[in-house]
Amino acid sequence: MINNVGIFELKDFENLEDEEWYRIFEVNVMSCIRLSKKLLPQMLQKKSGRIVFISSESGVNIPGNMIHYGMTKAAMTAVSNGLSKLTTGTEVTVNAILGGPTYSDGVASTIEHIAALQNIEIEQMKNAIIQQTNPHSLLQRFIDPEEIASLAVYLSSPISIATNGASLRADGGVLKTI
């Protein structure tokens, strides 16, 4: 099971209403919890299975204009780690992927909208955003969703059995920690 649902928005902390905090937590965290509650017991009974949480480097390095989003990604990582403790003695694994700035459909729509408003090319806008928000990125570009998916494929495969309770980075070198 790959927990990949997620929503985000750019919004300053002082402008976030309680309902917005609850909404993003409901979608980004509670959906994963509900699916895990449904499927983990079956995996444990069979002593085999994989759960992957698609989290974000924003759960470690919380953006000032997306504190509510970062909070949900930190929570996903915590839930993933906690659930892994329930898999002792089985071949069930639970891991999280800390993705970096990814050119997902939602991000693409936002960037295309901003580029159109500013009357500039999309690639120029993408580069400007990376330079402004993540100038220290080693990749120096947005991550393709397929690059995150490749790590999810590994974590879902039988060869990942020794990887459990981990938060693996596919962040393009955005995080400056080991």
Contact present, 61 and 174 (Cβ < 8 Å): yes
Positive or negative CA dihedral for 10, 99, 2, 110?
A: positive
Query: Which residue in 22, 69, 103, 154 is the catalytic one?
Result: 69
CA 105 to the chain's CA centroid: 14
Q: Please count the CA atoms within 13 angstroms of the CA of 113 that sit on its side-chain side.
A: 6
First to last CA, the chain: 27
The number of beta carbons lying within 10 Å of the beta carbon of residue 56 is 30
Task: Judge whether 69 counts as a catalytic residue.
Answer: yes
Catalytic residues: 69
